Structure 1
Amino acid sequence: MSINAPKLRSFVFRGDIKLIYLENVHVLSNVLYAPRELVLEDEDDFVSIFSSIPALECFSWDLFEFDNGSTEVIPTRLPSSLNCLKYLFISLTTLGEFFELSFILCSIRSSPNLEEIEIKAVTNEVVHEIPASFLDITFNHLRIFRFYDVLLQEGEMQLIKVLLAKSPALVKMVIKPCQMETNESLNVFMEITKSQRASYKEEVVYLVD
């Protein structure tokens, strides 16, 4: 489905349409996109979601189910950076496979001026390690990072450590793991606090039920 709306400034979608193309939306700055299932047939589908929204400042992905369809790869970076994007929220109920992790990394890596990132992910799968191509960027404007429902597997832990090490303006990081034993929680918290940091002004908040 395509939407052509040159005067559109805010767009909220919740429903069963699997993919929406926004065209001629040069003043659109606020998007909440929550299809019940996102299906990508090829790499261009993912790129097209962003490419026509040059003024995007606030983007919220709220995806119940993510299907890569026939797509074999998500790009490491979008062809054009989302230079206006300040706030990014991603909720992926099915996060777990490398493809879904690539989806998150590409969104972050293509947004050099992000000030706030919030990720909520629920999975029973193993999250693989993040690719080396993600390690060459510094998030000079990132101030707040929130990560909820974390299993603290290798890929997730690497993402936390990379953002600590590459975010000199970071003031607050909130991590909320899934339920885990107290001793394990303490060990993970100690590992995070000992990680290399670009900013020593930030507060690391570790929430345990």
Structure 2
Amino acid sequence: MVMLFDSLPVIQYLEIDYYYVKNLAIGGVPKRLPITLNHLIYPVLSGICFRELDEVSFVLCLIKSSPNLAKLIIQACVLEPMVIDDPVLELLYAQEWSDISLNQLRRVHMYNISRTRSELEFIKLLLAKSSMLETMLIEPDW
């Protein structure tokens, strides 16, 4: 995964789907990339399953490594609301976010949200770290 992003240091728009996230996560996901994606302002992540630890780890890694995000779009995979998502919740609670600020993030659009605890904690985290957020559109899966 790291080698891919080493070759894309000036990318501004990045669209990644579920299958690619799964492949990138093989072998583990670092907390932060060794390079900073200063130019990435608009990632689109499709089919992210908020009960899968490796997928949420990838999303957090990408966010931590991209300090100038302006717009973030995440299409979640549809989940049953009663699914227990403890490993993902532990990750979201345990992440060290004191050195992260999403001061450039203005718009977030998340859709297919199933209202699981892990999705709600992720949304809460974005709200806490995005001081300049203007619009957050959350669309449930119903």
Give TM-score, length-normalised by structure 2. Answer: 0.83
Which gives a bigger RCO, structure 1 or 2 (Cα 8 Å, sep 6+)? Answer: 2
Asked if 1:111 corresponds to 2:74, the answer is no
Which residue of structure 2 lines up, in the alignment, with residue 177 of structure 1?
140
Which residue of structure 2 lines up, in the alignment, with residue 9 of structure 1?
none
* Secondary structure of 2:137 counterpart: strand
Which residue of structure 1 lines up, in the alignment, with residue 57 of structure 2?
102
Distance of aligned partners of 1:134 and 1:173 in 2 relative to their CA distance in 1, 3 Å threshold: farther
Q: CA deviation at 1:73?
A: 2.2
* Secondary structure of 1:92 counterpart: strand
Spell out structure 1 runs of 4+ moving beyond 4 A: none
Which residue of structure 2 lines up, in the alignment, with residue 61 of structure 1?
16
Root-mean-square deviation (CA, aligned residues, Å) is 2.3
Identity %: 35
1:81-126 per-position Cα deviation (integer Å, ceiling 9, x unaligned):
1001110100026553111111111111110000000000114364
More helix by share: 2
Distance of aligned partners of 1:66 and 1:133 in 2 relative to their CA distance in 1, 3 Å threshold: closer
Contact between 1:93 and 1:121, CA under 8 Å: does it hold in 2?
Answer: yes
Give TM-score, length-normalised by structure 1. Answer: 0.58
Distance in 2, Cα, partners of 1:103 & 1:133 = 13
Distance in 2, Cα, partners of 1:93 & 1:162 = 17
Q: CA deviation at 1:151?
A: 1.5
* Secondary structure of 1:135 counterpart: coil
Distance in 2, Cα, partners of 1:93 & 1:168 = 24
Asked if 1:48 corresponds to 2:10, the answer is no
* Secondary structure of 2:97 counterpart: helix
More strand by share: 1
Q: Give the alignment of 1:144-159 within 5 angstroms.
A: 144-159=107-122
Distance of aligned partners of 1:71 and 1:61 in 2 relative to their CA distance in 1, 3 Å threshold: closer
Distance of aligned partners of 1:126 and 1:120 in 2 relative to their CA distance in 1, 3 Å threshold: farther
Structure 1 residue runs without a partner (length 5+): 1-45, 180-209
Distance in 2, Cα, partners of 1:82 & 1:113 = 8
Q: CA deviation at 1:62?
A: 2.3
* Secondary structure of 1:138 counterpart: coil
Q: Kindly provide the amino acid, as one letter, of the partner of residue 174 in structure 1.
A: L
Distance in 2, Cα, partners of 1:51 & 1:107 = 13
* Secondary structure of 2:138 counterpart: strand
Q: CA deviation at 1:139?
A: 0.4
* Secondary structure of 1:101 counterpart: helix
Structure 2 residue runs without a partner (length 5+): none
Which residue of structure 1 lines up, in the alignment, with residue 26 of structure 2?
71
Contact between 2:11 and 2:37, CA under 8 Å: does it hold in 1?
Answer: yes
* Secondary structure of 1:119 counterpart: strand
* Secondary structure of 2:29 counterpart: coil
